[in-house]
Structure 1
Amino acid sequence: MKTQLRNTTAPRILRTTALAAFLTTHITAAIAQRPTPPTRDPHTSGYVAATELPDGAIPSPHADGNFILGPTHTPAPETSPQPNVPQGNIYEFTMSSADSKLYPGIARDPGTFGTPDPKDPAKLIVTTSRPAPYTRHVAVYVPQQYVPGTTAPFIVGADGPDSTLFTTINNLIAQHRIPVMIAISIGNGSGDAQGSERGLEYDTMSGRYAEFVETEVLPLVEKQYHVKLTKDPDGRATMGGSSGGSCALIMAWYRPELYHRVLTYSATYINQQWPSNPDTPHGAWEFHEHLIPNTPPKPIRIWMEVGDRDLFNPNIMRDDMHDWVLANERMAKVLAARGYHYQFVFAKDAGHVDHAVKQQTLPEALEYLWQGYPITKSKN
């Protein structure tokens, strides 16, 4: 296990550039195999009624409900390092699948996907998934304002490390807009969708990933970096984009005694669970189809976003449960019907987990997420 410490102002240009090039190459290749998503109109019949904001404006962090962003996505200043702001520290370490009791590792053979079950188009048959080791990276942000020995709230993020999250939190703490909090950004176990380690972790409708974080990640963070993480679910948040977004809600839904706050970009609230589970046969589509409408409201506060060019039917399944825009619209509708505190943002001129939209909205999203939690001091 490797650990290193650096200040948030340390040079990261080479690493960031290399990572961006890698992601661009692989994401472009993946998207090239998908149909081009249509541009959706937020006023489409059946979509939720929403307040259309002036171009460049974002919602108030105190407002529940549905909002439409214009096509201009200017980065919020809080997403970039600011002068005269106390700089927290970022610690990094790696985790090996050999040390995990919950996720020993799987992978799908390169160039393979799966075939729809001829008896049920909502099920995908994957025969090329096999045991495989992985190494994941974890990054931990500890604010300079943290007092050693005190209990701190925290956020767990998927698909890490996430430098934008760390920088934004750093600035918002200094502005007293969110509590003094720790951020834990966890890399996935590799791959994507059915048959992959990432898909198993993020798309499975159960409390297993939350248990993994609770028993295998958080104890390492506390021990190695001498921090104390709150046990109060109101002081714990989850965050992610795409399948990482559905995972964020899955963690809170199945383990509400652990997490009450959820932030998602282009969440995969669609049918992507594998292996199939008869209790939730449609995967995360079940959230808006059955689970939220038919379950007493849980103490979850959620901020979520989708883009007008978000994903639509990107694979060989034709089950009518692979439309990211429709899935998020349906989520907003059922959350409102059940009385949840939520804010839903529909972004124009935006793709899947759109980076420009994230830079524009993340500060407001985090401030909305932490409404009601004490800002001036940590909660014990």
Structure 2
Amino acid sequence: MRKLSAFVLIAAFSSTGLSMAQPARNYDDKGAPPFKVLKEGENPPLDANDNFVIGPKYVAAPERKPVEGVPQGKVTQFEFDSKETKLFNPGIARKVFGTVDPKNPKTLIVETHTIDYKRRVGVYVPAQYKEGTEAPFMVVHDGPGAAGGYKTILDNLIAQKRIPPIVLISLSNGGGDAQGHERGKEYDNMNGDFATYIEDEVLPRVEKNCKVKLTKDPEGRAAMGSSSGGSAALIMAWFRNDLYHRVLTTSGTFVNQAWPFDSKYPDGAWGFHETLIPKEPKKPIRIFISVGDKDLLNPNVMRDNMHDWVEANHRMAKVLKDKGYEYQYLFCRNSGHGIGNAQNQFLPHAFEWVWKGYGAKEGK
């Protein structure tokens, strides 16, 4: 009983977005992929597809500071009710974390109830956008604050022509976290439903409210997120590769949190590196992944050996390299879940890396 209570306590911390002290892992631990260790404040080369170590000290990226004379993008926010949508209506929530299914240790028994929720959306439109033209864009999960929070970075990168003049669309989740909550249903399940929801329910509202036209070209569409938002970004590109080709993740939850259980994908997002990427044909996905040396390790009751965020991202790097994907992987020392201190240094680089090559064939 004492052990179960401790596990439940860890789960409670995880589901509220907090984390207990996690063990620090070393970049040269057994089972880790080979890394190149960078100097303090250094980011990887833009033309590299490989694994890199940064930290333990970080230098704030200069692109985070406003520069006089740089054209200023515009940020708009709006919201809509789940009752106004066809998909993900109504939402779900749980009162307690749930218990391990005695017939299947890979999933939980969770009691849920339906909820109504508001979807908040923040949109950054660059000053360089020309009305009536199709804009490349990036969807960011767990918003809407990223639209304003990344504004200075985007203003600077676009002005320096290091990324195209992208529209950034940051949308909130439906509430809660992990199994039995709306956020978990949207982000962790292995299907294209949430990408379809964004296509049908979010993007038309963005175009109407912000007076922009968004590209249909998957090469001009990116998805970004942290934690389960990171797994959601890859899930969108994997299952709706007709819509998205570019992915940026931090502390990606490439672990087993899908719920309810789907026998076609019994390992949830852990299946990406276990079976899907190694065994399925290579997809046109360009992906940036990153993790902290103190990232999450088994923060729930399941103990299914599929809840180690560091191992999951290590495994992702290995299979992406073996399969010949365009990828870059950062292992961030002295950094926990979400790797905020490391992002302070590398995020502008990550934006530039993810968008590298866009429009090259068309001469855009």
Q: TM-score range by the shorter chain?
A: over 0.9
Q: 1:6-64, CA deviations, whole angstroms, 9 ceiling, x for partnerless residues?
A: xxxxxxxxxxxxxxxxxxxx9799466x6531100010111100101112211122211
* Contact 1:146–1:180 (CA under 8 A) maintained in structure 2: yes
Match of 2:208 among 211, 223, 229: 223
Matched, 1:136 2:136: no
Q: 1:213-264, CA deviations, whole angstroms, 9 ceiling, x for partnerless residues?
A: 1000001111222211111100000000000000000000001110000000
Task: Give the equivalent residue in structure 2 for 1:290.
Answer: 275
* Contact 2:105–2:304 (CA under 8 A) maintained in structure 1: yes
User: Cα 1:209–1:133, aligned 2, differ >3 Å: closer, same or farther?
Assistant: same
SS in 2 for 1:176: coil
| Aligned-residue offset at 1:83 | 2.3
Distance 2:268 2:94 in 1: 22
Matched, 1:369 2:340: no
Structure 2-normalised TM-score? 0.93
SS in 2 for 1:95: strand
Matched, 1:185 2:175: no
Match of 2:222 among 225, 233, 237: 237
Matched, 1:44 2:29: yes
Task: Give the equivalent residue in structure 1 for 2:315.
Answer: 330
Structure 1 counterpart of 2:267, one-letter code: H
Distance 2:363 2:176 in 1: 37
Matched, 1:250 2:235: yes
* Contact 1:238–1:251 (CA under 8 A) maintained in structure 2: yes
Task: Give the equivalent residue in structure 2 for 1:117.
Answer: 101
SS in 2 for 1:349: strand
Distance 2:71 2:13 in 1: 35
Match of 2:59 among 48, 60, 74: 74
Distance 1:53 1:365 in 2: 15
Task: Give the equivalent residue in structure 1 for 2:248.
Answer: 263
Distance 1:63 1:124 in 2: 40
* Contact 1:151–1:378 (CA under 8 A) maintained in structure 2: no
- Aligned-residue sequence identity (percent) comes to 51
Structure 1-normalised TM-score? 0.89
Structure 1 counterpart of 2:297, one-letter code: F
Matched, 1:203 2:174: no
* Contact 1:35–1:313 (CA under 8 A) maintained in structure 2: no
Matched, 1:305 2:290: yes
Q: RMSD of the TM alignment (CA)?
A: 1.9
Structure 2 counterpart of 1:65, one-letter code: D
Q: Tell me, which stretches of 5 or more residues in structure 2 are unaligned?
A: 1-11
User: Cα 1:27–1:378, aligned 2, differ >3 Å: closer, same or farther?
Assistant: farther
Task: Give the equivalent residue in structure 2 for 1:90.
Answer: 75
Q: After alignment, is 270-279 or 77-86 more displaced?
A: 77-86
Distance 1:28 1:271 in 2: 14
* Contact 1:105–1:189 (CA under 8 A) maintained in structure 2: no
Q: Tell me, which stretches of 5 or more residues in structure 1 are unaligned?
A: 1-25
Distance 1:28 1:260 in 2: 30
Distance 2:342 2:204 in 1: 33
* Contact 1:94–1:138 (CA under 8 A) maintained in structure 2: yes
Distance 1:175 1:224 in 2: 28
